[in-house]
Amino acid sequence: MTFKDQIAKDNQIVFMNELEFCEKHLINNRMIPCIIDNNELIDREKRYQYRRSLYADGVYLKELLIYVREKDFGPLPAVGRSVMVDKKSYIVSDAINEDGIYSLTLEANKT
């Protein structure tokens, strides 16, 4: 088994295992197994605190970081594309393919 084969196997059996890490969420009107990672967002917020000053009183940036399998989601979404998660609309602010797992940073303005 090659290293890439092992990564693909781990993605399926360990990371995207509904009994271990992931849960199904409604993404673009389909139930898809994914991981919502709020801890990583907290770390990222510390690095990008300056963005908060760009918003007016009463408006804030809601961010969501999800990990989803490439085969479940489809093509990697472009930055700026709209994605629905659990019936809420977000805009893709970052999208990375990490060996078959997409890391999608989504954001929306909320009041």
Residues 30-42: tens digit of each pLDDT? 999 999 987 656 5
Whole-number pLDDT of residue 103: 94
Phi (first) and psi of residue 91, to 5 degrees: -110, 135
Question: 107 with 76: CB under 8 angstroms?
Answer: no
Which one is predicted more confidently, 9 or 39? Answer: 9
Residues 60-84 pLDDT 10s: 678 899 999 999 999 999 999 999 9
Q: What pTM did the predictor assign?
A: 0.78
Place of tokens 């995207």: 16
Assigned token pair, 49: 């605190």
Whole-number pLDDT of residue 61: 74
Q: How many domains does the chain have?
A: 1
Give residue 13's domain range: 3-110
- CA nearest 104: which of 68, 70, 80, 61? 68
Assigned token pair, 6: 């092992």
Which one is predicted more confidently, 49 or 6? Answer: 6
